Structure 1
Amino acid sequence: MAQAAQPVQASHAGGGEDWKKQLKLPPKDQRVKTEDVTATKGNEFEDYFLKRELLMGIYEKGFERPSPIQEESIPIALTGRDILARAKNGTGKTAAFTIPTLERLDTSRNEIQAVILVPTRELALQTSQVAKELGKHLGVEVMVTTGGTSLRDDIMRLYATVHMVVATPGRLLDLAGKGVAKLQNCKMLVMDEADKLLSEEFQPIIEQLIGFLPPERQICLYSATFPVTVKQFKEKFLKKPFIVNLMEELTLKGITQYYAFVEEKQKVHCLNTLFSKLQINQSIIFCNSVNRVELLAKKITELGYSCFYIHAKMLQSHRNRVFHDFRNGNCRNLVSSDLFTRGIDIQAVNVVINFDFPRNSETYLHRVGRSGRFGHLGLAVNLITYEDRFNLYRIEQELGTEIKPIPPTIEKSLYCT
């Protein structure tokens, strides 16, 4: 491959030459996709006048054309305007904010110029990886920092060049408060899964962090759901934000949803039946408590199926290993608490099972969104007890969706491509 230009002299694409032929592009994704990622205006990434080195990273990552959220978001973000964007899980939100953020960085300046905040460590690792891959020809230095890792290592890393930080809020506030993460020239703040970041747990930390930023800054919020807390934050901190709402329908297209009416004591037997009948690439099985996650994982292993589990009370090093191994396909099934509903993108997951039915519609939406990533087909099966029946009805009403009784056989074409 041709050597990329030095980042300081990064050039913008154009001129009609077919430079893409030089790139080692991944094979095209031939799977059927749903219209929430295909119903675009027909824009190309070249239309945004991005640096050629950034375009090289985009095409090498396998992105062919912008998805709807990318079409709506990228050109506005490039102007420096605040953004409030609602789009479904799995429709390309990460690239929608990472691409314009990378484009606006000046690698000749040795300072933090952009911060991306996310609610979980796993999402931080995943987002920083996307940023590094997209920006690999730009010479951009991306740092990831989260709680549960060595503070000393992070402090040492910040003595070297860092242009972009991907972080969980508490750790970044700690570093900023110590004067190690210098944010006075950081003019871009992106918040992914903004509804979670503006919950009671995080909002006071976020507001303190904003105090370290310069008065002239860009704040971009991205999420699938926007509760009242986001409205209050918008009115306090955002300046005439551009609103993107691609959420007329809340649940993802391409995900078929069923329920099975069972007694609590029948759940494991029902799960065993699903495993034997479904064509599962990979599945995530959700429970409502940490104890139930571990107990169910043990039961699934006893039934003879490969199974990992993950929850918030595990050591971070263990969580990282489980996430990495599951993502690499070393195991077919993962039992999880709601820790894993936020933005985690594993393309091979085509089945989500709610072993315990979630308590509210937002949690349901985020759980189900783990399958059917980027417009592919997926299946959600909910095990419903007598006590869950009102909750099922309420969530159907709130999301404007229909969860159907499970048929004796499920067509493979509904969730396998």
Structure 2
Amino acid sequence: MTTFKELPLSATLQHKLEAAQFITLTPIQERAIQPALDGKDVIGTAQTGTGKTLAFLIPVIEMLRREHSAGEKSAGEKSAHTGALVLLPTRELAMQVHEQYENLRTKTMPKAALVIGGVSEKTQIQGLRAGSSLIIATPGRLQDLTDRKFADLRHIKILVLDEADRMLDMGFLPAIRRILALLPKNRQTLCFSATLEASVAGLVHEYMRDPVRVALGSVLKPAESVELKAYEVRPGEKIEVLRQLLYAEKGQTLIFTRTKRGAQRLAQDLARDGFTATMIHGDRSQSQRNGALSGFQEGRFQVLVATDIASRGLHCDDVAHVINYDVPKIAEDFIHRVGRTGRAGLSGRATTLAAGVEIVELRNIERTLKLRIERMQIDPSGAPQPKRHVQNTLASRTLTALPGEVFV
């Protein structure tokens, strides 16, 4: 089975998928959708950008369609019960899943309730009181609304935990446990994660029933479609190297920093240099985050500067280049960052700038991931040269590769 047409889906959903140009199944979709359609619990581990969203949305949509049709036949009206719940770690990711659902649902199917922090509760509460058949939510806001009796989860038939490892990393385990305690014991659970670390494995053991396990290769390796390179520079050289990379880049670039303050300062510096740059981090208001993300997705900004909190919530297929302006502290964050490019069958580039102690941190990441990242060098002539021949000034330099230089 390699195409969506081979799946036992309704004609209306098949038409929606074809209209959206979803033709060929990705490996995670090929192995996860059918067991989910059969009503089995599924735990899927795969790299970011592998099509996990459709792997759980298609079974959810088919279940809701069947429930909706059965409700109309038996009662002459739509069921008021919520049938599916999707939990995600960030507002941006929840909004993108909601948009994907709205694009695939038919006009007769119910709309989804989007329950996220950072926006007014009023509309969300109205949607929950109206009996939305699907809730797409972040754990913190949903727990708050369930505690105040605004959400009834007693009739959930499918629970989806997307980016489960990230939700646990962000401290959502207590909220998830409180939410799961409200769900029926005989529900179906679909859990997707970039890694199956101990905390996720414990969650699977406690809340899933004999799940079908779908694991695609090593979950701690970047996609082969992403070209990895790195520069080892002095701290004061980073910004100039970044400028030269951006001057040479025609596509959209996503830049990661470790801190909110660093993201703010870097985006402002780049804007002063004439780049169309924006930023997304935790201190920005929800409207500012939405505006930055939509502007980047629509091509109005060439550069988006983000902190790690956003690295798993950004789903932009057109990112040509990811730049780690600050080296991430752990290997998994490196994978999450570089997974923002090389998506949907496209090639991508990921460049890391390391200075000072970051050079050691980058080498530790390489050892953990068993990667060989090609080292690049600043060269005044534009031709590859060994490090010992490179001058110390950055004036008028271009960026070139050191032939054969890699590190493990």
TM bracket, shorter-chain basis: 0.7 to 0.9
Match of 2:284 among 303, 306, 314: 314
Q: Please list every run of at least 4 consecutive aligned residues from structure 1 whose deviation after the TM superposition is greater than 4 angstroms.
A: 407-410
Greater per-residue strand proportion: 2
CA RMSD for the aligned pairs? 1.5
Match of 2:227 among 238, 241, 256: 256
1:14: which partner in 2? none
State whether residues 129 and 151 of structure 2, in contact with CA within 8 Å, keep that contact through their aligned partners in structure 1: no
Q: Does 1:405 align with 2:375?
A: yes
Displacement after TM superposition at 1:401 (Å)? 1.9
The amino acid across from 2:23 in the alignment is: E
State whether residues 54 and 138 of structure 1, in contact with CA within 8 Å, keep that contact through their aligned partners in structure 2: no
Give the distance between the partners of 2:350 and 2:212, measured in 1 at CA. Answer: 33
2:119: which partner in 1? 149
- Give CA-to-partner distance per residue, 1:102-132, whole Å, 9 cap, x none: 1011123221100111110000100110111
Give the distance between the partners of 2:30 and 2:45, measured in 1 at CA. Answer: 13
State whether residues 321 and 341 of structure 2, in contact with CA within 8 Å, keep that contact through their aligned partners in structure 1: yes
Displacement after TM superposition at 1:409 (Å)? 4.5
The amino acid across from 1:263 in the alignment is: R
Match of 2:2 among 18, 43, 46: 43
1:117: which partner in 2? 87
Bigger relative contact order, structure 1 or 2, given CA contacts below 8 A and separation 6+? 1
Match of 1:332 among 299, 302, 306: 302
Number of equivalent positions: 368
1:386: which partner in 2? 356
1:5: which partner in 2? none
Displacement after TM superposition at 1:371 (Å)? 0.7
1:271: which partner in 2? 242
SS in 2 for 1:351: strand
State whether residues 90 and 313 of structure 2, in contact with CA within 8 Å, keep that contact through their aligned partners in structure 1: no
Match of 1:206 among 168, 172, 176: 176
Give the distance between the partners of 2:252 and 2:108, measured in 1 at CA. Answer: 35
The amino acid across from 1:264 in the alignment is: P
Give the distance between the partners of 1:149 and 1:80, measured in 2 at CA. Answer: 34
Q: Does 1:299 align with 2:286?
A: no
Give the distance between the partners of 2:258 and 2:16, measured in 1 at CA. Answer: 39
Alignment of structure 1 residues 36-115 onto 2, 5 Å? 42-105=1-64, 106-107=67-68, 108=71, 109-115=79-85
State whether residues 251 and 365 of structure 1, in contact with CA within 8 Å, keep that contact through their aligned partners in structure 2: yes
The amino acid across from 2:223 in the alignment is: L
TM value normalised by structure 2:
0.87
Greater gyration radius: 2
State whether residues 193 and 343 of structure 1, in contact with CA within 8 Å, keep that contact through their aligned partners in structure 2: no
The amino acid across from 2:12 in the alignment is: E
Give the distance between the partners of 2:170 and 2:14, measured in 1 at CA. Answer: 39
The amino acid across from 2:261 in the alignment is: N
Displacement after TM superposition at 1:343 (Å)? 4.1
The amino acid across from 2:137 in the alignment is: A
Displacement after TM superposition at 1:44 (Å)? 2.5
State whether residues 84 and 221 of structure 1, in contact with CA within 8 Å, keep that contact through their aligned partners in structure 2: yes
State whether residues 153 and 182 of structure 2, in contact with CA within 8 Å, keep that contact through their aligned partners in structure 1: yes
The amino acid across from 1:128 in the alignment is: H
Give the distance between the partners of 1:193 and 1:83, measured in 2 at CA. Answer: 14
State whether residues 286 and 336 of structure 1, in contact with CA within 8 Å, keep that contact through their aligned partners in structure 2: yes
2:406: which partner in 1? none
Displacement after TM superposition at 1:191 (Å)? 0.8
Give the distance between the partners of 2:352 and 2:234, measured in 1 at CA. Answer: 13
Give the distance between the partners of 2:322 and 2:213, measured in 1 at CA. Answer: 31
SS in 1 for 2:31: helix
Q: Does 1:377 align with 2:347?
A: yes
SS in 1 for 2:93: helix
The amino acid across from 1:251 in the alignment is: P
Q: Does 1:217 align with 2:183?
A: no
State whether residues 88 and 247 of structure 1, in contact with CA within 8 Å, keep that contact through their aligned partners in structure 2: no
Give the distance between the partners of 1:409 and 1:110, measured in 2 at CA. Answer: 62
Match of 1:133 among 103, 107, 110: 103
Structure 2: which 5+ residue stretches go unaligned?
Answer: 72-78, 378-398, 402-408
Displacement after TM superposition at 1:347 (Å)? 1.6
SS in 2 for 1:244: strand
TM value normalised by structure 1:
0.85
Q: Does 1:281 align with 2:240?
A: no
- Give CA-to-partner distance per residue, 1:30-89, whole Å, 9 cap, x none: xxxxxxxxxxxx432232211111112111111012111101010011122111101111
SS in 1 for 2:169: coil
Alignment of structure 1 residues 220-235 onto 2, 5 Å? 220-235=190-205
SS in 1 for 2:344: helix
State whether residues 311 and 336 of structure 1, in contact with CA within 8 Å, keep that contact through their aligned partners in structure 2: yes
Displacement after TM superposition at 1:400 (Å)? 2.5
1:25: which partner in 2? none
Percent identity between matched residues is 33
Displacement after TM superposition at 1:137 (Å)? 4.8
